[in-house]
Structure 1
């Protein structure tokens, strides 16, 4: 077979055209944790990205990493002249004013192509992603904390689920005992390593650690009561002697094994805590909201501590319209419900009223109420880690009897205030 000049020229043009034709296929690069990819691409609801990919003629390239490396990579990529990543996942604790300057302000995109029923996303989450007057990320996955308790133990000791913070403290004391022939039980297992737990106690009295406008301990009396309450539980033996070294996973284990009656954990832990292959009390570990104190100001409602992830667009991304199209679709009510069925913590309050979701989630109404009022433990800022470490140190010192709760509050304010943004 002879190769004519015309045939050779046609073959050459086809070869040159091939990369061009391939380039017409769109690709969205996403930087996330593998869990984020998993809840959108597999599970009971299937691959929730498929319809978007077909409609946009685009493929998704997922790059996943653990939390620390993921956040560092996102900020590093966003600091370059340009980045291949169109979408990144941002943890609320990294959403500082400096980070916001590296991200695309989403309000103009939202004005042109809104997220469906955006107000349905819990307000505490939406507010935390509004920095410098602009929305910089859309919440998509949350872990809201509730008060878990062992119903079997409460029934055995004749204790009703607490309706006030004072009843909760009394229940912790009454459920500190040694069963006949069994290991000692403490009323409450709680880690001392995180600010979230004393923050929950402070909010029960109408107080807080750091407000959204960066006031540290705005109500010293409320925080003093909170720390004194934790100290009282420790002195009564209602917290483990190992309180200072207890971890988050220890809380799960102690509750599953019946070594503690109460624990403060994300609502999403309910299924794990009640698994027949891991718990001595399958089906008997319940969850409710942390109650508020009878001495709190009138109208005080518990603002449970919540941590969450959001989707953002680096300011230097190449195809922001494609990225925004993806975020809009993945934030829609339908995909939020689907990802919840795939194991995600839904950020929309309405998801908890879907009949199918409620059927599989006995705590849906309780979590919906908690989520609707939930707030992050404290706002993100450059010295937030140091501020939390100081707060944790002062609380521990007071709980262990090394200083008075009043002194811990005073010293926290004095040490943290210089770290806050001007």
Structure 2
């Protein structure tokens, strides 16, 4: 009896194990890929490449018998990790994503120059990639990164609030923007207190944009610090005047980038400055009280420079780099070449990526999905980074923002604040 019971239990155990094993085999892939490319990136770079049936790299993975393993971080931790990995004797990461304001000469030396790769195995229609973005990935005359994503700043406005205030069209000059922002500092019919404009105080984007509206800048591409002090003074004076009029939030000193999105979606602000790629989020009916009513245009320059100099919006761009100490550089370049192709670039754009290719913006599918495509393409043509990369860039930015905030809040005369920016940042500039 005991032997029979033992036999039955053993038989049941065997059958259960066999069935479970068969099920596990059926649920798993038939064969694992022979190679894995490890990639360091932000989560958004992985997301826009799609997954499942929408995986834009599906064909590339099959052709190369390779999988892609992403390790993702937020922007600053990502850059720190990338530079540490590239500084080791060897790294397991074949491709990293770098922001255009980070590669100093020293950092650029950690990555392979890519001209030889392009010469040996060219990227499809490389000239179609916006020249300004390529320039941003060129350090000491050497191309170290292939542009893959950009965030070009535009002026967003709530069309419903403009109409409620009797404004028939968005501003075409900075002066009109200020006038409308002040008029739109009111209580809407819904009872919501509205601030004319909301801007984050901890980002260099905004004072730089206002300085450029008058033909000025913070630091030029050739490292000229505040080339036109009067223009920067005019830009900061405008911000201060808006704050004094209540057209910037009372909480300006602590306002963050995410606040801009929320306030516009909820109708608490009429204007803001954000990347064009944010349009879909701002008009998302699940998040926004004004879906379809939040529009985007080029940030306007001052009427004082109209026709003499194009407005240069701020752009931040990402590029793909190959660490000098990477193991399989051929696979890494093959990945970069595929991601840079017209097909994948357009696919990423349809998934919300800022396309680096000019041709993408003329594609009917993208125009249908992104009504701002043509405007964004126009703005991108003259856009440039808020400042060029150099070793003390982060400290220089923090110093500039500190002085601008003091001036906007009325705690320091604007002229004195601009003079302090020049005096304090000058020792930080590269020799």
Q: Is the pair's TM-score, using the shorter chain for normalization, greater than 0.5? A: yes
Aligned residues: 400
Q: Please say if residues 42 and 342 of structure 1, whose CA atoms lie closer than 8 Å, have aligned partners that are also in contact.
A: no
Cα distance in 1 for partners of 2:128, 2:343 equals: 13
Q: Please say if residues 206 and 297 of structure 1, whose CA atoms lie closer than 8 Å, have aligned partners that are also in contact.
A: no
TM superposition score normalised by structure 2: 0.89
TM superposition score normalised by structure 1: 0.91
Does 2:139 match 1:131? yes
Equivalent residue, structure 2, for 1:10:
none
Equivalent residue, structure 1, for 2:34:
25
Q: Please say if residues 349 and 371 of structure 1, whose CA atoms lie closer than 8 Å, have aligned partners that are also in contact.
A: no
Does 2:205 match 1:205? no
Cα distance in 1 for partners of 2:257, 2:49 equals: 27
Q: Please say if residues 336 and 351 of structure 1, whose CA atoms lie closer than 8 Å, have aligned partners that are also in contact.
A: yes
Structure 1 residues not aligned, in runs of 5+: 1-21
Of 353, 367, 392 in structure 2, the residue corresponding to residue 383 of structure 1 is: 392
Q: Tell me how far 1:297 sits from its aligned partner.
A: 6.5
Q: Tell me how far 1:25 sits from its aligned partner.
A: 3.0
Equivalent residue, structure 2, for 1:227:
236
The CA RMSD measured in Å over matched residues stands at 1.9
Equivalent residue, structure 1, for 2:118:
110
1:140-172 residue CA offsets vs partner (Å, 9 max, x unmatched): 112111100011111122222111111111111
Counterpart secondary structure, 1:82 = coil
Q: Tell me how far 1:343 sits from its aligned partner.
A: 2.6
Equivalent residue, structure 1, for 2:318:
309
Q: Please say if residues 161 and 188 of structure 2, whose CA atoms lie closer than 8 Å, have aligned partners that are also in contact.
A: no
Cα distance in 2 for partners of 1:326, 1:60 equals: 9
Of 72, 81, 93 in structure 2, the residue corresponding to residue 73 of structure 1 is: 81
Equivalent residue, structure 1, for 2:297:
288
Does 2:69 match 1:61? yes
Equivalent residue, structure 2, for 1:89:
97
Q: Please say if residues 383 and 419 of structure 1, whose CA atoms lie closer than 8 Å, have aligned partners that are also in contact.
A: yes
Of 343, 354, 364 in structure 2, the residue corresponding to residue 345 of structure 1 is: 354
Does 2:257 match 1:248? yes
Q: Please say if residues 150 and 286 of structure 1, whose CA atoms lie closer than 8 Å, have aligned partners that are also in contact.
A: yes
Counterpart secondary structure, 1:94 = coil
Bigger Cα displacement from structure 2, 23-32 vs 394-403: 23-32
Cα distance in 2 for partners of 1:276, 1:111 equals: 47
Bigger Cα displacement from structure 2, 69-78 vs 382-391: 69-78
Cα distance in 2 for partners of 1:64, 1:286 equals: 31
1:188-233 residue CA offsets vs partner (Å, 9 max, x unmatched): 1111111110111111111111111111111111111101111111
Structure 2 residues not aligned, in runs of 5+: 1-30
Counterpart secondary structure, 2:152 = strand
